[in-house]
A and B are shown apart, each in its own frame.
Chain A
Amino acid sequence: MKKRWICLFVENQIGVLTKIAGLFSSKAYNIDSITVGETEDQTISRMTIGLTSDDQTFEQVKKQLNRSVEVIKVVDYTEIPTHMKEILFVKISSCNREDKEEIFRIANVFGCTVTDYDKNTVLLECTQTEGKNNDIIRLLQSCFPNRIEVVRGGNVAIEAVSRKDNS
């Protein structure tokens, strides 16, 4: 079992997201994350799909996606150099002065932005890799248990321009 990434170009039409999601569920493949958005061509949507699977299942996933009429192109992003980021918002509530200072330090070290705050609450915005966002959530959870609210945007990925190996 291994983490995989697929970049999928599909027709930008009603029902296509359901079709793709339904294809995964009907074949009992599990999606870890999926993001969708319009591309520079309004008739095409682009999806970034993360999943964990063995080699054989992953081959099937790619073939099944490819045979769908609505799918224009399937690109395997697992082994090629890409830039991949996920947006994460974390709201920390009931903060005192010391808490706020600690949050600002964390933001500084982890490269997050303090997007908004008021007297007791701080909102952090992090645009990082999925793994780094996991680390930030874990840290904030341990520093401020039961006081954080998390929303994650899922990953978007694009092929690297200069890098030729996947390091």
Chain B
Amino acid sequence: MKMNGAQLFVKALKEEGVDTLFAYPGGTAIDMFDALYGVEGIDVVLPRHEQALVHEADGYARSTGKVGVCLVTSGPGATNLVTGIATANYDSVPLVCFTGQVPTYLIGNDAFQEVDIVGIVRSICKYAVTVRDRKDLGRIIKEAFYIARTGKPGPVLVDIPKDIQLEMGSDEYPSTVSIRGYKPSEGVHVGQVRRAMAMLGKAKHPVFLIGGGVNISHAQKELQELAERTGVPVITTIMGKGAIATNHPLYIGNIGIHGNYASNKAISECDVLFSIGTRFNDRITGKISEFAKKAKIIHVDIDSASISRNIVVDIPIVADAKTAIQTMLENITKPEIGDWVKEILEWKAAYPIQMENYKGMTPEKIIRKINELFPSSIVVTDVGQNQLWTTQYLELDQNRQLLTSGGLGTMGYGFPAAIGAKLGNPDKDVICISGDGGMQMNIQEMATAVALELPVIICVLNNGYLGNVRQWQEMFLDGRYSSTCLKYRRRCGRDCADPDKCCPPYTPDYVKLAESYDAKGIRVTKLEGIEAAFQEARSNQAGPTLIEFIIEREANVLPIVPGGKALSDMIMDC
């Protein structure tokens, strides 16, 4: 049978099991939307901005493990995807983004809404391609899904010119894939695993350093068994948090520039650092030459290019985290580590992460209340202090998951990603934790959440500042708050005369803003109001609830390792 390209596109989505499509129409995508009209089994979601659209697909993908699928038009529709694609790329999130394109005979003519989107995204995605021949369409879509979800997952972009969408051709959608330049690594080198386990077996002060790769490969159960059978303490990166329950006796905490004292100290003191699924990003290592100086380093990663790039490794293992851990369990060794865990736990007890220096309603109190009230939930953060506090205080286990833009650090990610997560997990509580800065970057998605009747709870931690940058200005730039005050109005003058004494009222009024979208808005100013607000939000199942928490204006995220310093140089207090 013959069908046109747009119909084959829809058939491909069905064959790939796509149940949710994040899509914004336009001139060169209109035929694909027409083919989608009335199709059963695919929920076509209309966001209010294409950047939010990708984050929604991203949140959906991270929380379900499925591929997030996007459809937008050419030109501005396509360029609005860029930030979201880069966000997904850094955090290894499987996405397939379809972009409409001007007809092939107009490509290169500077036609209306023509951009070379493949050229633009080339360095920020796993693969991007323009379909130039109708007969290649099915194969290319098949390959796109395969590339996105296998190996180290990532975003793939498929650009489909309008004439290809309309051209009649075969209705065949291939069932197999063979790409000669793409063979994701399968299995693991058992000899390397044995060498690594032998090295671990001789260690006196070993630690596991766990990155996002363990969460992506769903190896949480295996990791817990590995930790318990070896007795080796577990430290995570931000992306690795939740790979083992945060209340597990062997879990120490996060490392990195906002990691806890015990974790950073343990990394600095360990003799074998067994890392799985992390790329040793600079936010994790601090000053490279001082990182884990006493340790032999074992590194498991699915991406060979991540190995010995930032940190020179003694034993490299290229493998999927789950496969590697399963093989480790088959070759288990148990090192004699004496009081090592006890020692680390003493550091942890002596220098806990806390915000006791601040009075009243601190982010710590808000997040601990979420721990208490929402045991089965997906918590999605934006970027900045709201994110760092969440990664410090949120407790995770197999029932509570954290989504955050760890690699790219994209403000505006949180709220749309929460919408995507809720669409993929209607039975879970989905809570977005944002700041007052990032919330404004995709605030228009309130309309999407209201339209879809999604009971997402949005916590805006409002301190009236771009708080993370402000904190750096306070600590490292003599308090020169350059462009970070969100209460600023021109009448304040160039220099802030008296912070927080005679400030103009904050804009927008988040409660009224939520109400204008037909959502519920609640403002909380006191510690005692936190629980009631969450209960009220939870009882509102008709749509989103925004809770604005007015928090201390100049609260800081501590500890902190200043830029360029070693992990051991962390500042505990200021």
Chain A interface residues toward B at CB < 8 A: 10-11, 14-15, 18-19, 22-23, 26, 56, 59-60, 63-64, 66-72
Interchain nearest-CB distance for A34 vs B (Å): 17
- In contact, B126 and A23 (Cβ under 8 angstroms): no
Q: Which of B123, B181, B304 contacts A70 (CB 8 A)?
A: B181
- In contact, B122 and A69 (Cβ under 8 angstroms): no
Given contacts A59-B308, A69-B127, contact A11 B122 (CB under 8 A): no
CB neighbours (8 Å) of A14 from chain B are 130, 132
CB neighbours (8 Å) of A19 from chain B are 122
- In contact, B118 and A15 (Cβ under 8 angstroms): yes
- In contact, A68 and B181 (Cβ under 8 angstroms): yes
- In contact, A56 and B308 (Cβ under 8 angstroms): yes
Interface members, chain B 280-326 (any A CB < 8 Å): 303-305, 308-309, 312
Nearest chain B residue, comparing its CB with the CB of A15: B118
Q: Which of A15, A23, A66, A67 contacts B123 (CB 8 A)?
A: A23
- In contact, A22 and B122 (Cβ under 8 angstroms): yes
- In contact, B304 and A69 (Cβ under 8 angstroms): no
Nearest chain A residue, comparing its CB with the CB of B303: A67
CB neighbours (8 Å) of B312 from chain A are 56
Nearest chain B residue, comparing its CB with the CB of A9: B181
Q: Which of B123, B132, B181, B303 contacts A72 (CB 8 A)?
A: B181
- In contact, B305 and A69 (Cβ under 8 angstroms): no
Q: Which of B119, B182, B309 contacts A69 (CB 8 A)?
A: B182
Nearest chain B residue, comparing its CB with the CB of A11: B181
CB neighbours (8 Å) of B118 from chain A are 15
Interchain nearest-CB distance for B157 vs A (Å): 12
- Alpha-carbon separation in the docked complex, A26 to B123 (Å): 7
Interchain nearest-CB distance for B519 vs A (Å): 41
- In contact, A69 and B126 (Cβ under 8 angstroms): yes
- In contact, B122 and A18 (Cβ under 8 angstroms): yes
CB neighbours (8 Å) of B179 from chain A are 69
- In contact, B122 and A66 (Cβ under 8 angstroms): no
Listed by A's residue number, 14 A-B pairs whose Cβ atoms lie within 8 Å are A14-B132, A15-B122, A19-B122, A22-B123, A26-B123, A56-B312, A59-B308, A60-B309, A63-B305, A66-B305, A67-B305, A69-B181, A71-B181, A72-B180
- Alpha-carbon separation in the docked complex, A9 to B126 (Å): 19
- Alpha-carbon separation in the docked complex, A67 to B312 (Å): 20
Nearest chain B residue, comparing its CB with the CB of A23: B123
CB neighbours (8 Å) of A66 from chain B are 304-305
- Alpha-carbon separation in the docked complex, A16 to B180 (Å): 15
Q: Is B147 an interface residue (CB 8 A)?
A: yes
Q: Which of A18, A26, A64, A70 contacts B119 (CB 8 A)?
A: A18
- Alpha-carbon separation in the docked complex, A56 to B303 (Å): 16
- Alpha-carbon separation in the docked complex, A111 to B181 (Å): 40
- Alpha-carbon separation in the docked complex, A112 to B179 (Å): 44
CB neighbours (8 Å) of B147 from chain A are 69
Q: Which of B126, B127, B305, B308 contacts A64 (CB 8 A)?
A: B305
CB neighbours (8 Å) of A22 from chain B are 122-123
Contact code string B182-195 (vs A, CB < 8 Å = 1, else 0): 10000000000000
- Alpha-carbon separation in the docked complex, A71 to B305 (Å): 15
CB neighbours (8 Å) of A68 from chain B are 181
- Alpha-carbon separation in the docked complex, A69 to B126 (Å): 8
CB neighbours (8 Å) of A67 from chain B are 303-305
Contact code string B112-153 (vs A, CB < 8 Å = 1, else 0): 000000110011001100101000000000000001000000
- Alpha-carbon separation in the docked complex, A26 to B118 (Å): 16
Interchain nearest-CB distance for B291 vs A (Å): 16
- Alpha-carbon separation in the docked complex, A23 to B180 (Å): 20
Interchain nearest-CB distance for B141 vs A (Å): 15
CB neighbours (8 Å) of B305 from chain A are 60, 63-64, 66-67
Nearest chain B residue, comparing its CB with the CB of A73: B181
Interchain nearest-CB distance for B201 vs A (Å): 29
CB neighbours (8 Å) of A56 from chain B are 308, 312
Nearest chain A residue, comparing its CB with the CB of B147: A69
Interchain nearest-CB distance for B96 vs A (Å): 14
Interchain nearest-CB distance for A2 vs B (Å): 18
Interchain nearest-CB distance for B159 vs A (Å): 11
Nearest chain B residue, comparing its CB with the CB of A65: B305
- Alpha-carbon separation in the docked complex, A11 to B179 (Å): 10
Nearest chain A residue, comparing its CB with the CB of B305: A63
- Alpha-carbon separation in the docked complex, A9 to B179 (Å): 14
CB neighbours (8 Å) of B182 from chain A are 69
- Alpha-carbon separation in the docked complex, A55 to B430 (Å): 48
Given A11-B181, A23-B123, A60-B305, 19 other A-B residues pairs in contact with their CB atoms under 8 A: A10-B181, A14-B132, A15-B119, A15-B122, A15-B130, A18-B119, A26-B123, A56-B312, A60-B309, A63-B305, A64-B305, A66-B304, A66-B305, A67-B304, A68-B181, A69-B126, A71-B181, A72-B180, A72-B181
Given contacts A14-B132, A68-B181, A69-B182, contact A63 B126 (CB under 8 A): no
Nearest chain A residue, comparing its CB with the CB of B143: A69
Nearest chain A residue, comparing its CB with the CB of B304: A63
CB neighbours (8 Å) of A11 from chain B are 181
- Alpha-carbon separation in the docked complex, A35 to B123 (Å): 22
Interchain nearest-CB distance for B150 vs A (Å): 11
CB neighbours (8 Å) of B119 from chain A are 15, 18
- Alpha-carbon separation in the docked complex, A60 to B303 (Å): 11
- Alpha-carbon separation in the docked complex, A71 to B180 (Å): 8
Q: Which 8 A-B pairs have the closest CB atoms?
A: A63-B305, A69-B127, A72-B181, A26-B123, A69-B182, A63-B304, A71-B181, A72-B180
